[in-house]
Amino acid sequence: MTQAKSEADQGWLRRAGLVIALLGAATVMVPIAWMISTSLKPETEVFRQPIEWLPVHVRPANYAEATTLIPFWLYFANSLVIVVPVVIGTVISSAAVAYAFARMRAPGTGAMFGLVLAGIMLPGEVTLVPSYLLFKELDWIGTYLPLTVPAWLGGGAFNIFLLRQAFLTIPPEHDDVARVDGHGFLKILWRVVIPQSWPAISLVAVFAFVDTWNDFLGPLLYVNDQDRYTLPLGLNFFKDVYNTQWAHLMAASVLALVPCVVVFFLAQRVFTQGIVLTGRR
Amino acid sequence: MSPLSRRELIKRASWLSAGLLASPAVLAACGRAGPSASTGPAAPPASASGSSGVVTGTTQVLVGFGTGNAPDQIPVQEELATAYAAARPGASIDYLRIPDTDEAQRKLGLLIAADDAPDLVLPTGLYGIALYLDQNVWQDLSGLMAAYGIGLELFHEATHRAARAVNYYGADSKAVVGLPAGIFTHAMAYNKELFAQAGIPEPPHKDDQADWTYERQLEIARALTVDTAGKSADMAGFDPSKVAQYGLGHWDTGMMIRGFGGSVYDAASRRMTIADDRYAQGLQFGADLINVHHVLANDELAAGVAAGADDPQLAAWRSGKIAMIDMCACDLLSFGVDTQFAWDVAQWPRGPERLVSHLNLDVGAIVQQSDGYDAAWQVLQFLLVDPANGARLSTESYGAMSPLKAETGTFVEELKPRFPDVDLQVFVDALDHSTPEQEEWFPAFTKVNDMFGQYLDAVYQGEAPAADQLPAYQEAAQQAVDDWFETHTVPPA
Amino acid sequence: MPDIRLSPDRREALAAYVFLSPWAIGFVLLTAGPMLASLVLSLTDYRLLEPNRMAWVGVGNYERALAGDPLVWQALKVTAYYVGLSVVLELVVGFGLALVLNIGFRGIGIVRTIYYLPAVISGVAVSLLWLLIFQPSSGLANAGLGLFGVAGIGWVYSTTWVIPAFVLMSLWGVGRAAFIYLAILQRIPTNLYEAAKVDGAGRFRRLVRITLPLVTPAIFINLVLAVIGKFQIFTEGFVISEGGPGTSSLFYVLYVYRNAFRYFEIGYASALAWILFAILMALTAMVFWTGRRWVYYEGERSATQ
């Protein structure tokens, strides 16, 4: 039985918490509502005061235009080409690495974990130039490799750390049951640890998807061919130093966030799936 | 081997390989063939082909140092690229579009450091030129211009000083850092209805009026700044905390400083001149417009009278809450549309020492590290010197005035249909007293500009007089300039 | 493992290295190099496009930063203020939110998605949106205050309120931290609560005695990552206020960026970055060290505590 179902008592505290959360959700939605509302207005009506939440003149053509003023679907496809290998690579490699940190003893792993964290403590601004030169030596500039390969090499400190924490909450007795059966580390990871960590793993997948989908700086630095630009770069074309095309920018932004919303919505179901009780293999 | 030493070995091997792998990165960073900064920019070799042969090759043009990447600006640039490939068989243009100005400026540095420099940067505002000017990034075009018989006289005089980067190369140098690609002059847009209501004659459209001064403008502004009770700023009982309408907004107080004769840097003496009396007076005058006379709306005040567009000044102007604004020709498509009232443009008034207004200049520049400067020059010639192409690029794509003397008039023709009731000739006439000095390079200019807020925000907030803050700013700025001269030299004349 | 001569300990160590190899390869190949390079550069006066002029200055850059550049301390002050406020609020609000989002009523999926939306919107749109929201007269922020009868404030135009404005912006994205709590909360077996209820433990007691301790791994990671991440805030500061008004929102990484790409002093900027590194190292070490006391893991076994 999930925690959710067992807490089905109608406490007033629970209701109060829900109300506050709903109010919070409404507040969070406000900028997003403005985005959607703006995306349907003609450009000249975007800033009418007082704010018109429901557009007076609805202009769905903004969406069609947003996809033709810039090569929207080309950029969409490019983003997809990058995101898929990144998500797969991140989940696999960060799970493996985090598992080692959480479950295995070996000399030097403490220092290594320190290095994992150290990697995100140095502001990227100053490693930009050496990194760029390094990728140049490897001949990766102009390709997607600088963006996809790091995902397979550990997936980033954040994900390693997150999964390590998640794995550490699984009692080691579960492992022992499997080990007694003669299973090696890999099988334990696959059969015991991962099935109990779906919430964390799905979170890693979602974060990897969203962060890569919205990555502006990476493609900007390493991709020089406009035909291979990704969506965040494409959106910036609507923003000019003299004039921003708000309606089209919002329309394109709304379209751009649909995949992320879908991915998240699907993934968060995993959060509500029943979790394994102690003792179950 | 015992386990202990095996582990030690692994540890040492990892450190060694990390070090080995780090060194290429360091060496690469250090050993990149950058030009030595002590000598001046290299003149192009004598192999520049004469005017007969076509230079083949692809020229990479970086677009993003300012404008040029908006969806409606791109088609004309693409058409011109096609026309170029047709007119010069074997040659072509490849645009590298970076849709964010700061990132574009950063990426140029990165590309140069990695030996991947683009050939041309077009268009670039003067800030972009100045940012890289002392890094030997821009090719001196004078050699190529001489070889092809192109002179700066083709372009309006107002652009010459900036195109020659006089503060850097010296007033006597023939060096040219970029070819003018588009100019935006400034006029003063005014709300005709507010003037009519107050019974004030409209400001002059010609710049020969001796009595159209800052003082006169201040008088008018006071009459046109009205509080919620209907009292104007020149009446007793005016309440500055309840202003409903401002006389001035979207203003360039920096240009007013120049009207007082103030300047920022003197190349001959290598001194910053911001502690000069005239600069102080000009600065104080501008600040007083906000805090003493209450006629000028800064961003916060503008946001208080009319509501939130992405630019509060724009919102205030559009709602008819500001009587006079500084309008760049580049603002025509934002401030000039969706107004609910009749408006027109007049000339900027003259300051106590000078009649001056700002000029935004875009140029095309060749990157010195590029190998294909011949082809790049060919592109520049095709796009900017050819009158038809130049006018198309400047006006249709960038929305600017063509800097070619013969073509400045096309600006009025192009825009007349969109702005039938506006005296666009004012923008053209403003060329006579326009100057891009505000964006000129001087040593350590990014540092000095970044310090501006630190020292002078208080003046603009009315918390301290200019005379108190300027000496400290002058000292800090001069220190930055002196530091610059310790590690750099300007090129020999 | 076919080699039965290896003891279980060595087998474990070997397995560890094998599992860690992706990260190790990536670190050595892609991360360590640039990091070491920037460390070396911080000991020089390297300017981006003038490599021939580079000279060794040893700790000169560090001296200049700590003793001769007041903007460094200003930036540290500003950033520390931001980090202090936003980390604490995010921890508290995030946890509370997670508790609520944990409830399984119908439609909770949509509510969760709404809280996650801020993380999902692309950067351009977000920064521009917030500029609008913070407009003093007509922006939604002051309109919201107006609903409670509070007078409008200057937000990003005011030296007092600019940092709180950024904190508010970061709170908008609190969903991201909340979901990390949620992932851990979901794992708490319900029989623990049942047993406690049977023992007569009230709601608050159950929260403090069961939920809180079991969630400490999530609190821990959120704390560490929040401190490391928020100390490096850059993009929002760059787009929205550019360090102003004055220097009241001059975030540290913004100052690093300026030195690196506006003044082109890569050497000095690298030194600044490594100073931040040292600070973050110290802070993280502190959190880890105290973490031994208050973080509770059920699966502790490894050496990486």
Name the residue ranges covered by the structural domains of chain C. Answer: 42-294
Residues A176 and A98 in one domain: yes
Residue showing tokens 């049942």 = C194
The answer to whether residues B248 and B297 touch, using CB atoms and an 8 Å cutoff, is: yes
What is the pLDDT at residue B196? Answer: 95
Percent of chain A with pLDDT over 90: 45
Looking at residue C237, its pLDDT comes to 86
What does each C-alpha distance from B214 to A24, B220, B255, B293, B325 come to in angstroms?
Answer: 52, 10, 12, 13, 14
The half-sphere exposure of C250 on its side-chain side, counting CA atoms within 13 A, is 21
Query: Are A83 and A106 part of one and the same domain?
Result: yes
Q: Does the pLDDT of residue B48 top 50, yes or no?
A: no
The answer for C268, left when phi > 0, alpha when psi is -120 to 50, beta otherwise, is alpha
Query: Residue B18: which of C32, C52, C258 has the nearest Cβ?
Result: C32
Give the torsion through C-alpha atoms of A18, A23, A24, A30, to 10 deg. Answer: 150
Q: Are residues A33 and A103 in the same domain?
A: no
Confidence of residue C137 (pLDDT cuts 50, 70, 90): low
Taking only residues 52 to 81 of chain A, the set having a beta carbon closer than 8 angstroms to any beta carbon of chain C reads: none
The alpha-carbon gap from A162 to the nearest alpha carbon of chain B, in Å, equals: 26
For residue range B427-436, list pLDDT tens digits in order: 999 999 999 9
> Does A170 lie in the same domain as A85?
yes
Is 70 exceeded by the pLDDT of residue B151?
A: yes
In the structure encoding, which two tokens stand for residue B38, read together? 């002590």
Lowest mean pLDDT: which of B417-431, B448-462, C64-78, C182-196?
Answer: C182-196
Per-residue pLDDT of A161-187, as tens digits, reads 989 988 888 888 777 777 777 777 787
* Residue A250 in domain: yes
Q: Are residues A234 and A133 in the same domain?
A: yes
- pTM of the entire predicted model: 0.86
SS (H, E, C) chain C: CCCCCCCHHHHHHHHHHHHHHHHHHHHHHHHHHHHHHHHHHCCECCECCCHHHCCECCCHHHHHHHHCCHHHHHHHHHHHHHHHHHHHHHHHHHHHHHHHHCCCCCCHHHHHHHHHHHHHCCHHHHHHHHHHHCCCCCCHHHHHHHHCCCCCCCHHHCCCCHHHHHHHHHHHCCHHHHHHHHHHHCCCCHHHHHHHHHCCCCHHHHHHHHHHHHHHHHHHHHHHHHHHHHHCCCHHHHHHCCCCCCCCCCCHHHHHHHHHHCCCEHHHHHHHHHHHHHHHHHHHHHHHHHHHHHCCCCCCCCCCC
Q: What is the CATH number of domain B185-358+439-487?
A: 3.40.190.10
Question: Are C215 and C198 a contacting pair, CB within 8 Å?
Answer: no
Is the CB of residue B347 less than 8 Å from the CB of residue B207?
A: yes
Cβ contact C125–A104 (<8 Å) = no
How confident is the model at residue B127, as a pLDDT? 92
Cβ atoms of B252 and B268 closer than 8 Å: no
Listed residues A11, A40, A59: the one ending a domain: A59
Residue B405 DSSP one-character state: G
For residue A137, the chain C residues in CB contact (below 8 A) are: none
Lowest-pLDDT choice from A33-47, A95-109, A234-248, C143-157: C143-157
Compute CA B217 distance to the chain's CA centroid, rounded to the nearest angstrom: 26
Pick the closest to residue A201 from A91, A96, A103 (CA basis): A91
Q: What is the CATH number of domain C42-294?
A: 1.10.3720.10
Model pLDDT for residues B58-115, shown as the tens digit of each residue: 999 999 998 899 888 999 999 999 999 999 999 999 999 999 899 999 999 999 998 8
Contacting residues for A255 by C-beta, under 8 A, at least 6 apart: A63, A66, A67, A72
Structure confidence at residue A271 (pLDDT): 62
The top-level CATH class assigned to B57-183+359-426 is alpha beta
Q: Which helix (H) or strand (E) holds B271?
A: strand B271-272
Question: Which residue from C28, C50, C238 is facing B21, i.e. has the nearest CB?
Answer: C28
Contact between residue C95 and residue C270 where contact means Cβ atoms under 8 Å apart:
no
CB distance from A99 to chain C under 8 Å? Answer: yes
Cβ pair C36:B312 closer than 8 A:
no
Q: Which residues of B touch A69 (CB under 8 A)?
A: 71
| Structural domains counted in chain A | 2
CB within 8 Å of chain A, chain B residues 306-365: 306-310, 315, 319, 330-331, 333-334, 337-338
Q: What is the pLDDT of residue B25?
A: 47
Distance between CA atoms of residues B431 and B415, nearest Å: 17
φ/ψ of residue B221, rounded to 5: -60, -40
- Mean pLDDT over each residue of chain C, to the nearest integer: 85
Contact list, B447 vs chain C (CB under 8 Å): 262-263
DSSP state of B229: T
Cα dist. B111→A146, B118, B370 in Å? 16, 8, 11
Indicate if the pLDDT at residue B307 is higher than 70. no
The neighbour count for residue B448, using CB atoms within 10 Å, is 22
Contact A169 C299 (CB under 8 A): yes
Is the pLDDT reported for residue A17 higher than 50? yes
Tell me the shortest Cα–Cα distance from C171 to chain B, in angstroms: 23
The confidence band for B191, taking pLDDT boundaries of 50, 70 and 90, is very high
Say yes or no to pLDDT of A29 above 50: yes
Nearest CA in chain A to C271: A126
pLDDT of residue B481: 95
> Please, which pLDDT band fits residue B328 given cuts at 50, 70 and 90?
very high
Is residue A133 located within the same domain as residue A185?
yes
pLDDT score of C88: 95
Confidence (pLDDT) at C199: 82
pLDDT at A273 (0 to 100): 54
Question: What is residue B178's predicted lDDT score, i.e. its pLDDT?
Answer: 95
Closest to B310 (Cβ–Cβ): which among C10, C132, C264? Answer: C132
CA separation for the pair C189, A92 (Å, rounded) = 26
Residues of B in contact with C52 (CB under 8 A): 34, 36-37
- Evaluate if residue B30 carries a pLDDT over 90: no
Rounded to whole angstroms, the Cα distance separating C172 from A28 reads 6
CB-CB neighbors (< 8 A) of A49 in chain C: 138
Q: Are strands B296-297 and B243-249 parallel, antiparallel or unpaired?
A: parallel
| Under 8 Å between Cβ of C34 and A134 | yes
| pLDDT at residue A48, rounded to an integer | 72
What is the distance in angstroms between the Cα of C160 and the nearest Cα belonging to chain A?
A: 24
- Alpha carbons B145 and B176: distance in angstroms, whole number: 9
Nearest Cβ partner for B67 among A108, A133, A240: A240
**From residue B289, how far is each of A13, B217, B284, B295, C174 by CA, in Å?**
57, 11, 9, 6, 43
Residue C149 tokens read as: 């009868």
What is the structure's pLDDT at C301?
Answer: 42
A130, C220: Cβ pair inside 8 Å? no
Domain boundaries along the sequence of chain B: 57-183+359-426, 185-358+439-487
Q: Are B163 and B152 in contact (CB under 8 A)?
A: yes
d(CA C112, CA C178): 10
Which chain C residue has the Cα nearest residue A233? C124
Lowest pLDDT segment from B2-16, B248-262, C145-159: B2-16
The residue segments making up the domain with residue A187 are 70-272
With a cut of 70, say whether residue A276 has pLDDT above it. no
Contacts of A191 (CB under 8 A, 6+ apart): A178, A183, A281
CA distances from C289 to B46, C222, C281, C293 (A): 68, 16, 12, 8
Classify burial at C47, counting beta carbons within 10 Å of its beta carbon; exposed 0-12, middle 13-18, buried 19 or more. buried
The residue-averaged pLDDT of B189-196 equals 95
Of C225, C222, C244, give the one whose Cα is nearest residue C165: C244
Query: Does A82 share its domain with A54?
Result: no
Å between C34 CA and nearest CA of chain B: 6
pLDDT at B152 over 90: yes
Residues A36 and A155 both lie in one domain: no
The minimal CB distance from B315 to the residues A47, A50, A134 is found for A47
Residue C97 sits at φ, ψ, to 5 deg, of: -60, -40
What token pair was written down for C182?
A: 């949620």
Candidates C45, C52, C64, C161: best to mutate against B (most CBs of B within 10 A) is C52
**Tens digits of per-residue pLDDT, C247-299?**
889 999 999 999 999 999 999 999 999 999 999 999 999 999 998 888 877 65
Contact assignment for C299 to A22 by CB distance below 8 Å: no
Average pLDDT of the segment spanning A14-23: 83
Q: Name the residue among C88, C89, C110 with its Cα closest to residue C101.
A: C110
Q: Is residue A279 domain-resident? A: no
The verdict on residue A278 lying in a domain is no
C121: nearest CB among A123, A162, A253: A253
In angstroms and rounded to an integer, the radius of gyration of the C-alpha atoms of chain C is 24
What would the pLDDT profile of A196-224 be if each residue is shown by its tens digit? 888 889 889 999 999 999 999 999 999 98
> What subunits make at least 3 CB pairs under 8 angstroms with B?
A, C
Contact assessment for residue B252 and residue B325, using Cβ atoms and an 8 Å cutoff: no
Single-letter residue type at B169? Y
Q: Let me know if residue A200 belongs to a domain.
A: yes
Confidence of residue B45 (pLDDT cuts 50, 70, 90): very low
Same domain for A94 and A10: no
Average pLDDT over residues A192-198: 83
Say which DSSP state B201 is in.
P
Q: How confident is the model at residue B50 (pLDDT cuts 50, 70, 90)?
A: very low
Does an H or E element contain B361, and which? strand B357-366
C neighbours by CB contacts (3+ pairs under 8 Å): A, B
Reference B310, options A250, A189, A88; nearest CA is A250
Residue B308: predicted pLDDT: 52
**Contact, B81 vs B95, CB < 8 A?**
yes
Cβ atoms within 10 A of the Cβ of B153, count? 9
Q: Which residues of A touch C33 (CB under 8 A)?
A: 130, 134
pLDDT band at B271 (very low <50, low <70, confident <90, very high): very high
Q: How confident is the model at residue C302 (pLDDT cuts 50, 70, 90)?
A: very low
Q: Do B21 and C33 touch (CB under 8 A)?
A: yes
pLDDT tens for each residue of A133-158: 999 999 999 899 999 999 999 888 99
Q: Cα B272 vs. chain centroid, distance in angstroms?
A: 20
Tell me if ipTM is over 0.90.
no
C133 near C193, Cβ under 8 Å? no
Tokens of A148: 């996809």
B269: phi then psi, degrees, rounded to nearest 5: -95, -5
Inter-chain touch C28–B17, beta carbons under 8 Å: yes
Q: Is the pLDDT of residue C229 over 60?
A: yes
Range in A264-268, B171-175, B223-227 with the lowest mean pLDDT = A264-268
**CA angle, C164 as apex, C174 and A20 as ends, to 5°?**
40
Shortest CA distance from C192: residue in chain A: A3
C299: chain A residues, CB-CB within 8 Å: 102-103, 167-172
Where among A36, A59, A82 does a domain terminate? A59
- A103 and A160 part of one domain: yes
CA distance B189 to B346: 6
Statement to judge: residues A246 and A207 lie in one domain: yes
Closest of A174, A210, A183 to residue A79, by C-alpha: A210
How many angstroms separate the CA atoms of C223 and C214, rounded? 15
Does residue A231 belong to the interface with chain C, where contact is any CB pair within 8 Å?
A: yes
Answer yes or no: are the C-beta atoms of C163 and C170 closer than 8 Å. Answer: no
User: With bands split at pLDDT 50, 70 and 90, how would you rate the model's confidence at A3?
Assistant: very low
